[in-house]
């Protein structure tokens, strides 16, 4: 019996050379990481739940998103599922952030 290999489960697959170039972590990425740790401390989110949600993003999305984009998508999904935040609240807040940032850019 065999079955499908899930997108994240990549041990042993052929792949190209390792790109050793490193990027300094962006503030938003550290913010995501910090939010995960704090939600963990509050028992709102286990690392296992975040991993599951990342894996469930599925092929295509998994590789299209960067490491912390996957984290952000996953953490958001878990918090929505658990009703810690609502879709409406998040949508409004994201629009507000965009407006603020757009204003801030104006000369």
Nearer to another protein, 11 or 107 (CB): 11
CB 4 to another protein: min, Å = 7
Choose among 13, 21, 28, 16: nearest CA to 59. Answer: 13
Cβ 58 to another protein shortest distance, Å: 11
**62 Cβ neighbours under 8 A, 6+ residues apart:** 7, 8, 54, 55, 70
Angle at 81 between CA 6 and CA 91, to 5 degrees: 105
Sites for another protein among residues 78-107 (CB under 8 A): 79, 84-85, 89-90, 93-94, 96-98, 101-102, 105
Is the CB of residue 54 less than 8 Å from the CB of residue 71? yes
User: Tokens standing for 56?
Assistant: 């469930």
- Residues 3-32 touching another protein, rule: CB under 8 A, are 3-6, 8-23, 25-32
Interacting residue ranges for another protein, rule: CB under 8 A: 1-6, 8-23, 25-35, 37-39, 42-44, 46, 48-49, 51-52, 54-55, 63, 65, 67-69, 72-73, 75-76, 79, 84-85, 89-90, 93-94, 96-98, 101-102, 105
């Amino acid at each position: 019996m065999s079955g499908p290999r899930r997108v994240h489960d990549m041990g042993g697959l052929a792949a190209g050379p390792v790109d050793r170039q490193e990027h300094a972590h962006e503030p938003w990425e550290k913010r995501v990481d910090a939010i995960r740790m704090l939600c963990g401390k509050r028992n709102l989110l286990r690392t296992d739940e975040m991993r599951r949600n990342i894996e469930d993003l599925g092929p295509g999305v998994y590789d299209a998103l960067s490491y912390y984009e996957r984290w952000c998508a996953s953490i958001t999904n878990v918090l929505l599922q658990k009703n810690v935040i609502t879709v409406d609240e998040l949508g409004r807040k994201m629009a507000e952030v965009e407006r603020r940032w757009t204003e801030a850019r104006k000369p």
